[in-house]
Structures are given as C-alpha cells and as structure tokens.
Amino acid sequence: MWLLLICCAVFMTACSGKEETIKPLEEQQDTPIEENNAKENESADAEEKGMQDAEEGGKEQAQESETPARIREETEKTEDEDGEAKEEEAAKLANVPEKLSDNLYDFQISIDGTVYQFPMWYSDFEALGWQYDGDNTDTLSNNQYVSAQRWNKDAASVYTKLANMSMNTVSFADSMVAGINMDRYQMKDSDWEILLPGGIQWGVSNADDIKAAYGDPTSDYDGDNYYKMSYQYDFYREIELYVYKDTGVLEQIEIENLVELEGADNSVSDEVPDIVKSYQAPTELGDDLYSFHVELEGNLYKLPCPVSELIANGFTIVEEKSDMEVASGSFGWVCLQYNNQSFRAIARNYAEYAVTIENCMLTAMESSDFSSDLALVIPGNIKRGDLQADVEKAIESFHSETETSSSGFTYYTVYDPDGSKLCNYTICVKEGKVFQIEVANDKKPE
C-alpha cells in the first residue's frame, strides 16, 4: 500500500496537470486541516516588497486552488414609488449583522457604518455597493479558493478571497467572499470609518491598543516598514493587523475565514459523468507498460477506470471502508471486494458536480501475497509468482528504477519518463519471485 499512500499525498499536482493549488481543506482537516495547509506564509521581506509593489501598480491576481452553487431566493420587490431604491437598501441590510461584535474571532469589521461578516456570499458583498474587477463567470471546484480578487467602491479598493466550500463546482458569482485585505494604499482616497471589535479603529489605534483589546498575538513580525500582528483561530481562520512605522497606527487589515456558509449546494447527482460513459475497456493486455492496461480476475481494464466497471464484473463496495459520495474535482477512498479478497484505492471525480463513488474513476489496483490475494496481471504477462529474471527481461525496454531494501525486498518501478513518476507499475520481488504488484494512474483520460 505504500505506493497508494504516496500517490494520495501528491495527486493534486502529480498526474493531473492542474495549476498549482493549495491542498483541499478536506485533506487538511485530518491533521487538523492537514499538512501544508497551515496557510501559505510568505516571507516577511516578500510581504513588504509586495506592499511596495501594490503602491506602485497594484497586486497581481493569483489563483491558488481545492465551492458549489448556492441556491438563493430573490427578495420580493416592494412596489412603492421608490421601490427599486428601497429594495436595494433592503438587500444591503438583510444579510449583515446590525451591530459589530466584541469578539475578534467573529471575523467582523465595520466599514463606513456597515458591519461585514466573513465569510459572506458574493451576492451579499456585491449588494453592499462593491463592483468586482474581474470575470465572475470563472469557476471554483470543491474546496478551492482564489486570492487577491479586486473590488472597487467609491474611492476605495479592496482585495478579497473567493472560496467554494461546497461539493459542487460554482462560478465566482455563486461563491463566498471568505476574507478581505485593505491597506493604506488602496484606501488612501477614502475617509470611511473602519472599526474592528473592541473599539480598534483604522488610522487611530496603535500596537498597544490592539494588544490591550485582543491580548498578545499568536505570532508577530517586526519589519522595517510595519509591525504585523497575527491572531490565528485555526488554519485558514485568522486576522492580520499592520501598524506602520511612519504613522504608528493601524493601516492594513487582512481577514480570512474559510468555513462553509449555510445554504451551500451539497447535493449529489445521480447523473453519470461523460468521462465514465465514454470509457472503453481494452481488448488486449499487450506488452506496453506505459498503457496502464491491467487484467484483474480475468477482466481487462485501463486505469483510471470507472468504479462501476468493477461492480459490473462482480466486485462489491465495502461501504463502511469507502467514501460513498465525492465532491466535484475531488477524490474518495473506495474498498472493493471480490471472492472475500479486497483492496482499497483512490477514486477520482473528474466531473463538475458531486457524484456517488460508483461514478468515480478508480486510479489504482494492487495484488499481494500478504493481502489482496487477487489475480492481477500487467503488460508483459507479469504476475505474482513470476521469476525475477523474467520480470527484468519483460521491463528491459521500458524506463524503470530499481531499489533494494535492507530486508532484501527489490522494487522495480516502471513509468513513462514523459509523464509522472507517480503514475507507474511497481513490481516487488522477494527471494527471486514476485510477491506484490501495484498499479497507479490518476491522469485524467483525454
């Protein structure tokens, strides 16, 4: 199983060819929101340079990655002589708190007399008069977000984080605003009153005031241009406050709170994705170890293959060991059993909507003397029990790496040098014979 675990840990960037993204939040919550998802912290020097770049020309928008469409009813329009104006005002007030909280970790801020609660829906943020400076038809998969999304209102500009925490792919317009970044360069022409819980005020409060209100920060940074105080509630849930050295007061606020909002679309579709419908099993096993053809219990497959294909060939899903629903663009574990033998592997959902595990694509298979005693054959007719010399002859014309452990196990890893090393066949030999075979390929079929 070691190969499957490695493949899981890096699947986001290994074979799929997707843009670089942060790990999905669902993975991170295991540790508690998993490795590498303690928010991407830029170095202090890079941060200060970024501020100076923003003063000169603005910040670049950068997409980082792993929330479905939210179903919202439109407010009924009142039919007054000034009905349209009243409706707009009602929309501005309907989904925001009436009063600013006293708790910093409620992730609220008062801007020009209006209290903002993060996260909030894109439509609610827009209803407060902000205009998005981008293409709101772009989409986000499950547990993805984009940072540095610019909005303008009157003489002010801010940057936000747009996120999708639901199970289905959504457009930016149906996503949530999960945080805000406002600094003195963007707000230099605005005279708004900006307040945080506990009476902390933009342009007035200093570092001692902030510490008196909130206590010592979780972490801080004392740079040449500013003193930054970070108050972290959890991964992806923090407030960063910048007191600039030349003025001695608070002149930048960053709020981030990536939690799911009530009303997110977590429906699961019974529709079979096109990628599953179009799958065709190979007609022969062949000798090509770059093909990802396999024969399992007498049936041919090409990985990745639909979980439903194995079910049609007599396998059953062990539900208590499987993720029965998988979000858009995400993955789940599935345990498949045949003749009282089972194996567990990753199944990917390549669709833009959540599906059941049967409609996902299985990315790996294995067979071993110690577990998963299944009849697995790979190209070149390599199978468990074969002699080491025969394996070496079968793979000699393919790119491979060999590793021998201190316990005497020899591992042959065969992979296409033009692809990912993690999409491979691994053949394990002990005492001159094959005792385990693993196959992994999560590259999306064309």
* pLDDT the model gives residue 446: 84
**pLDDT tens digit string along 82-114?**
555 544 544 444 456 789 999 999 999 999 999
Residue 371 is given by DSSP the state: S
Whether the pLDDT of residue 31 is over 60: the answer is no
Task: Place 366 in a pLDDT band, splitting at 50, 70 and 90.
Answer: very high
* pLDDT the model gives residue 425: 98
Question: Any alpha helices (H) in 128-280, and if so which ranges?
Answer: 207-214, 274-277
Whether the pLDDT of residue 42 is over 90: the answer is no
* pLDDT the model gives residue 97: 79
The closest alpha carbon to 296, from 367, 233, 212, 363, belongs to: 367
Single-letter code of the amino acid located at 368: S
Whether the pLDDT of residue 37 is over 60: the answer is no
Q: Exposure pattern of 344-357 as b/e (b: 16+ CB <10 Å)?
A: bbbbbbbbbbbbbb
Whether the pLDDT of residue 228 is over 90: the answer is yes
The closest alpha carbon to 365, from 24, 72, 7, belongs to: 7
Taking residues 326-343, report their average pLDDT: 96
Higher per-residue pLDDT: 344 or 9: 344
CA 350 to chain centre: 14
**pLDDT tens digit string along 384-437?**
999 999 999 999 999 999 999 988 899 999 999 999 999 999 999 999 999 999
Question: CB neighbours of 179 closer than 8 A, spacing ≥ 6?
Answer: 118, 119, 160, 161, 254, 255, 256, 257, 258
Taking residues 154-158, report their average pLDDT: 96
Q: Is the distance from CB of 108 to CB of 146 less than 8 angstroms?
A: no
Q: Is the distance from CB of 239 to CB of 231 less than 8 angstroms?
A: yes
* pLDDT the model gives residue 15: 42
Distance CA 236, CA 6 (A): 25
* pLDDT the model gives residue 178: 98
Q: Helix, strand or coil for residue 386?
A: coil
Question: CB neighbours of 46 closer than 8 A, spacing ≥ 6?
Answer: none
**Mean pLDDT of all residues in the chain?**
85
Taking residues 121-139, report their average pLDDT: 97
**pLDDT tens digit string along 172-224?**
999 999 999 999 999 999 999 999 999 999 999 999 999 999 999 999 999 99
* pLDDT the model gives residue 70: 39
